[in-house]
Amino acid sequence: MKLAAGVLALSAFQGANAFTAGGLQLARKAPTVTMADATASLWNINEVSPDGKLVQRIEGKTRKTWSFNDLSRDRVQVAIKSEGRPINADVQLWIGPDWTPFTLKTYSDDGRARPIHTLIGTRNKNAMIEVRNVGEQTFPIEAAANYAKGDMISVPQEIPATTPGERIDGGALKAFPLAESTEQLEVVLKTDGKQLNARIELLNAPNSPKQTFECFTNNGELNSLCVSFNTPDATNTVRVVNLAPLEFPCYIHYNEI
């Protein structure tokens, strides 16, 4: 009787995570959740601004800004989308009245299928993020910026810590074909504290970029380039060009989801 009672108690405790073997209820091992799985759905403008209050419409040839004054936090998440038209926007980090330590030029051929997603370090200072729509007036975009939350805070450190990196010397170009099953790609491009001046492109055909990020910062460790690509089509390739001189190598780390 005691054995039967114990089996029933174990079965009730395990619930859906149990299976039957030889008449006894045994626990089923829970599936492992990786960092990439945990953050896959968090690269979204609705996660940046769940209530929509931080989302701003930016007409062509205009700009919008967001202020950040919490010195205990150092990571801002930025998302830009459109209704399917191209995105051509510049993102800048402002610290103080005349210092722009990080600039990012972005392009997407379809702002709905391939929105712009990035994380920017504020160096624990009062900062402002500017998004400038450099496209034509007929190509409006929507953008939002907010302090990163939850798992997104550690993405720029977690990806280099859990994935092998590849060195790209100044002036060099390297390409990385993606698996056909890849639906999303997280990329961190960084240096050991030197300047980072590089371009990363998502290609879906020979020499035909679908999405592009080009950044410059005086410190590629404090302000690494951390971005996410949606890959709705198969046979994608990521191409990285280090635009800096030879003595400024950078390192790429990426997760395929």
Structural domains of the chain in order of their starting residue, each with its CATH number: 35-256 (2.60.120.680)
- pLDDT < 50 positions in the chain: 1-33
pLDDT for residue 16:
44
pLDDT for residue 186:
97
pLDDT for residue 198:
98
pLDDT for residue 36:
55
pLDDT for residue 38:
60
3-state secondary structure the chain: CHHHHHHHHHHHHHHHHEEEECCEEEECCCCCCCHHHHHHHHCCHHHHCCCCCCCEEECCCEEEEEEECCCCCCEEEEEEECCCCCEEEEEEEEECCCEEEEEEEEEECCCCCCCEEEEEECCCCCEEEEEEECCCCCCCEEEEEEECCHHHHHHHHHHHHHCCCEEECCCCEEEEECCCCCCEEEEEEECCCCCEEEEEEEECCCCCEEEEEEEEECCCCCCCEEEEEECCCCCCEEEEEECCCCCCCEEEEEEEC
Output the six-digit token pair for 126. 């009062």
**Rounded Cα distance, 20 and 17, in Å:** 11
pLDDT for residue 3:
42
